[in-house]
Amino acid sequence: MESQEVIARPHFDKADLAWLTDIRSRRAGSRGAPYFTLVFPGVDLEPKAFAAEVRARVEGISPIRFRLRSALVVPEQLVGRFHVFLIPDEGFGAILKLHDALHAGAIKAALRKDSPYLPHITVATTSDYNTARNLAISLNHGDIDIRGHIEALQVEHRIGEVIKLVAEIPLPKAGWFG
């Protein structure tokens, strides 16, 4: 199955990036750098046309600064799993506005109608609610405070499990919001 997605791989301090990469690997089975998914699969466009549409949608949107300070348990009811998300306290609105800007025009078809968009970085996935809840409580009581910023978006094309980078689209450097 083929699909396109848009993600943002934020920049973090070296120690925060190492911690995020480690916890995601151990607790969520995720390899690689942490990211925000901004557009999920659901658009039937050729990869180059999809990337061109993303470029048009982010015109005038500046880089985004954010701070991850809260952990939240989110159920995935269809498969009986629970995720622990790190949610940006600062920058939440800016990431949400970026998501909304991307879901106009030809990309509107990818908008998920079954659940609201929640900007997050997944740090754990488990089938046991109490395990997820205890981790979220531990993170929240540990005064987590991770600063990051988004300077570019990546358009990815998936065929099965194979992911290919189609385009890296920088956000204009005019200023910061969020």
Residue 15, domain extent: 2-170
Q: Confidence band (pLDDT; 50, 70, 90) for 78?
A: confident
Kindly indicate the confidence band of residue 61, based on its pLDDT and cuts at 50, 70 and 90: very high
Per residue in 31-59, pLDDT tens?
789 999 999 998 889 999 999 999 999 99
For residue 6, what is the domain's CATH number? 3.90.1140.10
With respect to residue 175, please indicate whether it lies within any of the assigned structural domains: no
Does the residue 57 lie in any domain? Answer: yes
Q: Are 12 and 148 in contact (CB under 8 A)?
A: yes
> Which pLDDT tens digit goes with each residue over 107-164?
998 998 888 999 999 999 999 999 999 999 999 999 899 999 999 999 999 888 899 9
From residue 135, alpha-carbon distances to 10, 86, 128, 145, 150 in Å are 23, 11, 11, 16, 26
